[in-house]
């Protein structure tokens, strides 16, 4: 494939796979700046949501990512969706090329759609508030509090080693506390979930970066549990709760775009 700035032949940009037969029209919201129509191409009881596109490699810039996500959000208002990797483009500029892809991988798509039916992904990132978390550690750990109290009136240049020791103790206590909170939160939310995917944290103040696959019917109870956790621990941490998301954490969909 070429870059965005080159003009090449046309193909079909594939956003996702859904359980549907019959026409669908999402309007001129397609990838790129041309206002291409987003619509469905059917095979049996499944459909690919597509739009026309030049055969290029779309850069993972904010404007492109937002366009891709916006289409999936529109689709998810009606359907459970198997999201397709960003910038997946069929090399054939006709509906028949997409039908061949659906026909070839029908069994795989059918099984994955059955698994995802009536489910959604919700994301949760939890970040500790540095000052309140530090204060809670001082309250909870007598050894750290006692050592800090001994040094409070002593000159810094005479207590360099002891202050470094306190810093090391706080770091270890923070690791322990965040691990405990992580387990507690997961223990509370996992029973509402079909599947859980814990992703890597970034930064020492991040407690949890996790995706939950839940049944649509479980969402009210899940929301209530998150609100309860926020009410209990909100003074120590921020809950960044996001949904409904395309289930990227639970669907690994690779499509042969050559049909």
- Tell me which residue of 196, 234, 198 sits closest to 212, measured CA to CA: 196
Q: Which portions of the chain are predicted below pLDDT 50? A: 259
Question: What interhelical angle do 219-233 and 160-189 show, nearest 10?
Answer: 160
- Dist CA 138 CA 158 (whole Å): 22
- 120-245 CATH fold: Alpha-Beta Plaits (3.30.70)
Question: What is the pLDDT, as a whole number, of residue 164?
Answer: 79
CB 214 within 8 A of CB 234: no
- Dist CA 185 CA 170 (whole Å): 22
Length of the chain: 259
Question: What is the pLDDT, as a whole number, of residue 54?
Answer: 93
Domain locations in the chain as residue ranges: 2-117, 120-245
Helix (H, G, I), strand (E, B) or coil at 218: helix
The torsion angles phi and psi of 224, rounded to 5 degrees, stand at -60, -40
- Tell me which residue of 99, 90, 111 sits closest to 40, measured CA to CA: 99
What single-letter DSSP state applies at residue 249? T
Question: What is the pLDDT, as a whole number, of residue 112?
Answer: 93
Question: What is the pLDDT, as a whole number, of residue 219?
Answer: 94
Question: What is the pLDDT, as a whole number, of residue 155?
Answer: 64
Strand order in the sheet with 206-215: 195-198, 206-215, 119-128, 237-245
- Dist CA 150 CA 154 (whole Å): 8
Q: Which residues contact 133 (CB under 8 A, 6 or more apart)?
A: 174, 177, 205, 236, 237
List the Cα angle 243/249/252 in 5-degree steps.
135
Residue 232 CA neighbour count, 13 Å, CB half: 10
């Amino acid at each position: 494939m070429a870059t965005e700035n080159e003009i090449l032949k046309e193909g079909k940009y594939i956003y996702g796979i859904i359980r549907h037969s019959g026409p669908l029209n999402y309007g001129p919201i397609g990838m790129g700046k041309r206002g291409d129509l987003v619509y469905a191409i059917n095979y049996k009881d499944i459909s690919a949501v597509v739009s026309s596109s030049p055969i290029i490699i779309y850069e993972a810039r904010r404007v492109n990512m937002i366009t891709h996500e916006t289409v999936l959000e529109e689709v998810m208002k009606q359907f459970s969706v198997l999201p397709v990797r960003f910038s997946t483009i069929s090399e054939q500029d006709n509906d028949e090329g997409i039908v061949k892809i659906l026909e070839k991988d029908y069994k795989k798509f059918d099984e994955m759609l059955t698994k995802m039916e009536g489910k959604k992904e919700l994301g949760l990132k939890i970040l500790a508030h540095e000052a309140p978390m530090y204060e809670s550690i001082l309250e909870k750990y007598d050894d750290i509090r006692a050592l800090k109290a001994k040094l409070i009136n002593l000159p810094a240049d005479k207590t360099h080693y002891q202050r470094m020791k306190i810093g090391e103790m706080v770091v270890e206590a923070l690791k322990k506390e965040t691990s405990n909170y992580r387990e507690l939160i997961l223990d509370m939310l996992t029973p509402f979930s079909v599947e859980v995917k814990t992703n890597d944290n970034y930064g020492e103040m991040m407690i949890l970066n996790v995706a939950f696959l839940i049944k649509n019917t479980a969402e009210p109870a899940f929301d209530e549990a998150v609100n309860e956790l926020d009410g209990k621990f909100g003074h120590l941490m921020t809950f960044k709760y996001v949904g409904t998301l395309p289930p990227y954490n639970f669907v690994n969909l690779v499509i042969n775009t050559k049909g």
